[in-house]
Amino acid sequence: MQSRIKVLRYGHRELRDFRVTTHCALVSRALGAEEIIIQGKEDEKIINNIKQINQNFGSEFKIRFIKNWKPEIKKLKKENWKLIHLTMYGESITEKIEEIKKEEKIIILIGSQKVEREVYEKADFNVAVTNQPHSEIASLAITLNEIYEGKKLNEQFIGAKKIIIPQTKGKKIIEKK
């Protein structure tokens, strides 16, 4: 069984978080999540970036903005999605990964701003990718890669117009018409 994964980006701030949230979305897509849900003011530029990348490089990765994380999480939890909150204060991912991998449906919540107490309470797992301050992009990447056991590192995406052919030196892209 391969877990389905959605990513919830908590507390996206317009403009200020543009690049970091874009990285989060691209990492989610590249490493096998099916959707990113962004809590914050809708930003068409981010949506269009991702759609453009889907068109060029394949996949049906989805992106949407929501105003409030709470009703979204409530709804998803009713549908048996488990909430994994990535936080430097949580339990080590190395201890929790086997348990997490067994879940069929996983929401990975990553903060931007300081995260409300309620997120810790609602989470099924509060998980730390090191107990050091670093980057939600990095934590997300490692978590996705661990859940999928590295399998997404060589995934071919369906519907790609541009396909990159790995090279020792330089670049090779095949473009389908």
Q: Which residues bind a second copy (CB under 8 A)?
A: 19-20, 23, 26-27, 29-31, 53, 57, 88-94, 117, 120-121, 123, 126, 128-135, 137-142, 145, 150, 152-155, 157, 163-164, 166-173
Nearer to a second copy, 2 or 135 (CB): 135
- CA dist., res. 110 & res. 74, Å (int): 17
Nearest to 43 by CA among 75, 74, 6, 9: 9
Nearer to a second copy, 114 or 177 (CB): 114
Nearer to a second copy, 48 or 131 (CB): 131
Min dist CB 54 to a second copy, Å, is: 11
Min dist CB 47 to a second copy, Å, is: 16
Nearest to 43 by CA among 12, 80, 9, 5: 12
- CA dist., res. 142 & res. 158, Å (int): 23
Nearer to a second copy, 67 or 94 (CB): 94
The beta strands (E) that lie in the chain are given as 4-9, 35-39, 62-66, 82-92, 105-110, 125-128, 162-164, 173-175
Min dist CB 177 to a second copy, Å, is: 20
Nearer to a second copy, 50 or 106 (CB): 50
Nearest to 27 by CA among 7, 42, 12, 46: 7
Min dist CB 94 to a second copy, Å, is: 5
